[in-house]
C-alpha cells in the first residue's frame, strides 16, 4: 500500500477513535491527526524491517503452554572453510511440569558430544556450539567419491531443574571431531566426542544436524 494512502487511513482511524472511544475527544483541525499518523508511519516503516532483521536467525517455538524453545544459528563460509555459531535454549513454563514428556534432554552428537544421546534431562536447558569444518574432498574423485568435510566442535551447556541454578559455571564443556560426507542418502557423520570429565562417545550419524 502506498505510504500516502496509509497516512490518510491512519489519520482517519485516529479521528474515528476520537468519535467513538469513551474518554477520547478532540475538537481541533485535521492537521494533528496527519502529524500523529506520520509519526506512526515512520516508526512502523523503520522498526518493522529492523525487527525482522534482528529476529531472522531465531526460531521461537511454543510447545503448547508448557515450554518455550529458542534456536538460533549463524554460519559463515570462506572458500573451503565454514564456521558456525549455534545457540539453543528451552524453559518449561509450567510450574507443575514434572511429566517426563515435558523435560528437555541433552547428550549426543553436537548436543554435548561426550555424553550418550539423551543421557541428561531437566526442566530447563541451554547449549552453545561453535563449529568449524573444512571441505577436503569435492566429490567425483574425492574420498569415497562424495564431497567430504573434516570438522571440530566446542560445546557448552547443561540441563537444570530450577531456573535459579542456571549459570555458565554449571555448564558442561564438551567437544568433538567429525568427518562428514554428502551421500545420496543424505549427510553422514562419523565422529568422536569427549566431555570435561574425560568421558567419550563415538557416533555414526545419518541426516542433517543443523
The pLDDT tens digits of the residues spanning 39-72 come to: 766 666 665 566 555 544 544 454 444 567 888 8
In order of 131, 152, 180, the CA distances from 149 in angstroms are 12, 10, 5
pLDDT score at 107 = 95
Query: Could you write out the DSSP letters of every residue in 102-149?
Result: G-EEE-STTSSTTS-TT-EEESEEEEEEEEEEEEEEESSSSGGGSEEE
| Domain-wise residue ranges, the chain | 3-55, 61-206
The contacts of residue 122 (CB under 8 Å, 6+ apart) are: 103, 104, 158, 159, 160, 161
pLDDT score at 91 = 87
pTM above 0.75, yes or no: no
pLDDT digits (tens, 9 = 90+) for 106-132: 999 999 999 999 999 998 999 999 999
pLDDT digits (tens, 9 = 90+) for 66-82: 567 888 899 999 999 99
CA distance 57 to 7: 32
Mean pLDDT (whole number) for 169-192: 90
DSSP letter, residue 164:
G
The contacts of residue 166 (CB under 8 Å, 6+ apart) are: 124, 126, 160
SS3 185: coil
Structure-model confidence comparison of residues 93 and 58, the more confident one:
93
Residue in this structure with the C-alpha cell 532483521, named with its chain if needed: 53
Is a pLDDT exceeding 70 seen at residue 31?
yes
Number of Cα atoms under 13 Å in the Cβ half of residue 40: 15
What does CATH list as the number for 61-206?
Answer: 2.40.160.50
Amino acid at each position: 500500500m502506498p505510504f500516502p494512502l496509509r497516512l490518510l487511513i491512519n489519520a482517519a482511524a485516529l479521528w474515528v477513535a476520537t468519535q467513538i472511544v469513551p474518554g477520547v475527544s478532540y475538537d481541533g483541525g485535521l492537521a494533528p491527526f496527519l502529524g500523529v499518523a506520520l509519526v506512526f508511519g515512520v516508526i512502523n516503516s523503520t522498526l518493522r524491517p529492523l525487527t525482522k532483521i534482528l529476529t531472522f536467525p531465531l526460531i521461537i517455538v511454543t510447545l503448547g503452554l508448557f515450554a518455550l524453545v529458542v534456536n538460533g544459528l549463524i554460519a559463515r563460509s570462506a572458500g573451503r572453510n565454514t564456521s558456525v555459531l549455534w545457540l539453543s535454549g528451552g524453559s518449561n513454563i509450567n510450574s507443575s511440569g514434572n511429566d517426563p514428556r515435558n523435560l528437555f534432554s541433552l547428550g549426543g552428537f553436537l548436543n554435548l558430544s561426550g555424553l550418550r544421546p539423551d543421557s541428561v534431562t531437566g526442566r530447563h536447558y541451554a547449549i552453545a556450539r561453535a563449529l568449524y569444518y573444512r571441505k577436503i574432498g569435492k566429490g567425483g574423485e574425492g574420498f569415497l567419491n562424495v564431497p567430504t568435510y573434516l570438522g571440530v566442535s566446542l560445546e557448552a551447556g547443561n540441563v537444570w531443574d530450577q531456573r535459579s541454578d542456571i549459570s555458565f559455571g554449571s555448564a558442561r564443556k564438551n567437544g568433538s571431531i567429525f568427518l562428514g560426507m554428502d551421500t545420496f542418502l543424505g549427510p553422514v557423520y562419523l565422529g568422536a566426542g569427549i566431555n570435561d570429565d574425560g568421558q567419550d562417545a563415538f557416533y555414526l550419524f545419518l541426516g542433517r544436524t543443523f
